[in-house]
Every structure is written in structure tokens, then in C-alpha cells.
Amino acid sequence: MEDLKDLRVDEVEEATEEQLNEQRRIRREKLKALQDMGRNPFLVESWNVEIDSKKIKDDFETYEGKIFSMAGRIMAFRHMGKASFIDIQDKSGRIQCYIRQDAIGPEEYEIFVTYDIGDIVGLVGEVFKTKHGEISIKVKELKLLTKSIQVLPNKFKGLKDQDLRYRQRYVDLIMNQEVRDLFYMRTEIIHEIKRVLEKEYEFLEVDTPILTTIAGGANARPFETHHNTLGLDMKLRISNELPLKRLIVGGLDRVYEMGKMFRNEGMDRNHNPEFTSMECYIAYGNMETVMDITEQVVSKAALKATGSMVITYQGKTFDLTPPWRRLDMADAVKEVTGVDFSKINTDEEARDAALGSGLSKESVKDLSRGLILAEMFEVFCEEKEGFLHGPVFITGHPVEISPLSKRDPLDPRITRRFEAYINEWEIANAFSELNDPIDQYDRFKEQQQALEEGDEEAHPMDEDFVNALEVGLPPTGGLGIGIDRVIMLITDAPSIRDIILFPTMKPIDK
């Protein structure tokens, strides 16, 4: 092995592509030499891992002088003749390992010094502290478990290219401790959300289909696919609302599902074509019931992950402590524009008000009063910086944009619906669920007509769901939360891609 000199790219400021190719070639030669010696690392099937680096560092006094079996990836080398230090990285962090020739034997040591950064090793050693006070492992046995034939990024520069980090998340996780910490935090947030739903509200977690013939429950363009055996065109779900409400009809009074949804729409820092959503439905509850659930789920997730219900996102502070502000959509429009929709009763009056506020004639000419209210809220309130700082619940949505929500008994033009906003982002959508099958059929019929006229996001007719309502849906409160956006806020992640392990990316060669 002496002729296989180790070019350590991590020890130079920058490596040329020629140097990287040479290093890859050398690593393959090292692998071949090991295989010829009968030491093929890829034949190793397992290693006994008894402890991780964090446990040792957190409780050194307990483990000092004891011998443990560990494993990890080599992240640094320091050779000193017949002794060496390496840093290995395991699931919880890094720890220094001290390797002496007389401890593992001259032949083993000669092979060890040819190992590369990125190689995965198993070791048995004694916990101790160096004369400089660093907690370390004094290695007594060492074995190569996996040979890395690719070169990791420079240890000082790391993996900085953001696009490459998303594409090669496996390298990103190796090189950036803060990335690993973020995804551990993501899991912690999800577990806390589930705990609140199950332990505090007694919800039952269920699974509903991802493949469906009708992409219902939201207004969005679906992804389409084909089932070969059935000869059936199918879609990926855009929401799991309708199957969950079918379960409420069936007597499962409190159900929730957290999982992937798929919408064939635009991509930006807040949108990914596949995303994680949580929807829950509670029989005999209403809009106010799920407002309470929203506050509890989000605030306690933040508390669990950060230790506080007050979070900071990109320099802005948000107090998630319940109760949150509640604001009617019409009142929000009046606050920003001065237009009072409580005094507007016709479509023509609404169009005149919209034109007077600066909307174009083309944008409102065919819209009803309710659609104009929704348009003005979107243009003047959602897009006004700081207005929906939140957390705030927006209520009073027009029936035209809420095909699955109960009408307000005091004003049948609007519905018993809310959207929750934080940082001007919609993070939750909820209803007192519509359970009138006749009203539901009529709304579906209007949506189906819009779909046939070219509105790709209109809700299709779902006659089986109408049939379920005819069987009888009890009064029900329903809630959907955008889990990825909540996680972005709590972890202070600038983009949704930062908190999705494998975000959707366009292939490099396209």
C-alpha cells in the first residue's frame, strides 16, 4: 500500500478538477488493493454500535475509562508517525479518536494510514481525555466498513453551493451540522403536533389514498398518472379532506392525517410541488373548535422545538401564545382601502368599489360581489407588507371561494371559514364543514361548470361524497395546516427547500 500516496484535497485551499479526478482514481486503486488482500469493505454487513459521540461528551464522567464499540465517518486526519488522530462523525456529532501503531498492530496501522476522509470505520476503544482536555477515544480495534471513492468538499469551505446542497442532500448532511440539526428539529415538531392531536384532543391517525380518480378537497391543478392494470387515468391527491370527512360519516369522530399532497403549480420559496399537510376533522365541533386546535398545535410545536412560544423569523418576532387575533375579511378590506362591503349588496356596486380602489376593469368585469371581496383582500391586504404579520385568523370568506364550508347563518353570502396567517403567509385553512348534501351538490355543480369552461383549479363534481353527506355528516370542524411553512417559521429557514430533505429540482441536463 506504500505506493498509494494520499492526496488530501481537504488540506489544500482549492482543488482543481484534475486533482479531484486523480484523487478519485487513487481511491479506486486503494479499494482494489484492499479487495486483492481479501479485505473488501463492501462485504462487511454490520457493526456493533453501543454508544454515540454525544452521549460520551454529555456524560464523560460516567463513561471515562470504559471501552465501547462505535462507528462513524472519518472527517479529519492528523498523522504523527506511529500515532494518529482522526475525527469520526456519527449520527449525533463528532469525536476525536487516538490511534497508535502499537495498539492496533503494525500491519493494521500501515493499512489504516491509507484510509481517506469520507471512509466509514468501526472501532472499539477506551474513553479518555487528552492532555489538552479533549474528550477522545483510545482505539484498540479498527475496521474499514465502507470505502468512500468520492471526494467530500473542502473542510474549510464546506458545501456552499445552495443548488448543489439541495441536489446532493446526502453530502449536505455530512458537511453541515446545522442542516442535520434542522431536520432533527423538523421531526421533533412533527412529533409534537401529533402528540397534541392524539393526547390532548384524542384524534385517531389514519391513512387515506394518494392515488384517486377525483382530485378534490381544494382548488388546485393535480398531477395526472395512469393505472395500467385498470386502464384508468388517475390523479395524485391535492388534499385528503373528502376521504377524511367520509370517515366522520362512518363514525370515526376525530381523525387526522399528516402526509404528502401534490399540486402541479408554481414553485417559489414557500411552494414545492409535493408538500406535507396535516388535516384533522372533529365531529360536533365548529370553526371556533379548530381555531383552538390551530393555536395549540402551532404554539406547542414552537415551544417544544425552541423552548418558547415567541419565535424569530428572518429578524421579525412573532408571539404564538394563544389566543390569536381574529379579523373579518370585509373588515380587513375596509381597514386597508376604506371600502365597506357591509354596505355593498350588488355585483355592480362591488365592481364600482373595486374600480375606485384601483383594480382594473378587466380583472373584475365578470366577478360577483363575493369574488370581488376576495380579490380585493388578496390584492390590498395579503400583499400589504406587515398587515398580516400575525398570528391572525381571517374569517368571513365568500361562499364563491369556499365550496366545502357551511354558510354563515347571519349572512349566507359568506361562510364559516378561517385562514390563519403568520408572516403574511397562509399557514392554515379551516371550516365549519358543509354537511348539507343539496347545497354541496349545487356548489359542486357550479365548480364543475367552471372546470369545463377552462378553470383548471375548480373543484370537480364528486357524487360519492355527496352520497356520503346524504347518509349524514354530523356538525364537524375541519382544519388543514401547511406543516412545511410552520416548520420554516419555527426553524427560521429562508426557503421551503431548506426544510424538505429532497425538494423538487429540475435535472441539471435539462
Q: Which three cell numbers stand for residue 109?
A: 496501522
Task: From 401, 442, 440, select the one nearest 419 (Cα to Cα).
Answer: 401
In sequence order, what are the residues at sequence separation of 6 or more whose Cβ sits closer than 8 angstroms to the Cβ of residue 349?
Answer: 369
DSSP output for 137-188: EEEEEEEEEE---SPPPPTTT-S--HHHHHHTHHHHHHH-HHHHHHHHHHHH
Task: Name the β-bridge partners of 268.
Answer: 271
Q: What is the pLDDT along the chain (510 residues), one digit of tens a residue?
A: 444 444 444 444 466 888 889 999 999 999 999 999 999 999 999 999 999 999 999 999 999 999 999 999 999 999 988 999 999 999 999 999 999 999 999 999 999 999 999 999 999 999 999 999 999 999 999 999 999 999 998 764 556 788 889 999 999 999 999 999 999 999 999 999 999 999 999 999 999 999 999 988 888 899 999 999 999 999 999 999 999 999 999 999 999 999 999 999 999 999 999 999 999 999 999 999 999 999 999 999 999 999 999 999 999 999 999 999 999 999 999 999 999 999 999 999 999 999 999 999 999 988 999 999 999 999 999 999 999 999 999 999 999 999 889 999 999 999 999 999 999 999 999 999 999 999 999 989 988 998 888 888 888 899 999 999 999 999 999 999 999 999 999 999 999 999 999 999 988 875
What sign for the dihedral angle of Cα 240, 425, 458, 245?
Answer: positive
CB-neighbour burial class of residue 38 (10 A; exposed 0-12, middle 13-18, buried 19+): exposed
Q: Tell me the per-residue pLDDT of 199-239, one tens digit each, with 9 for 90 and over.
A: 999 999 999 999 999 988 888 899 999 999 999 999 999 99
In sequence order, the β-bridge partners of residue 204 are: 255
Residue 302 dihedral angles phi and psi, to the nearest 5°? -65, -45
CB atoms within 10 A of CB 5: 7
Contact 141, 42 (CB under 8 A): no
The letter for the amino acid at 497 is: R
DSSP assignment of 191-252 equals HHHHHIIIIIS-PEE----SEESS--SSS-PPPEEEETTTTEEEEE-S--HHHHHHHHHTT-
Q: What pTM was computed for the model?
A: 0.91
What CA–CA distance (Å, rounded) separates 138 from 141? Answer: 9
Domains within the chain, CATH numbers bracketed: 9-158 (2.40.50.140), 325-385 (no CATH)
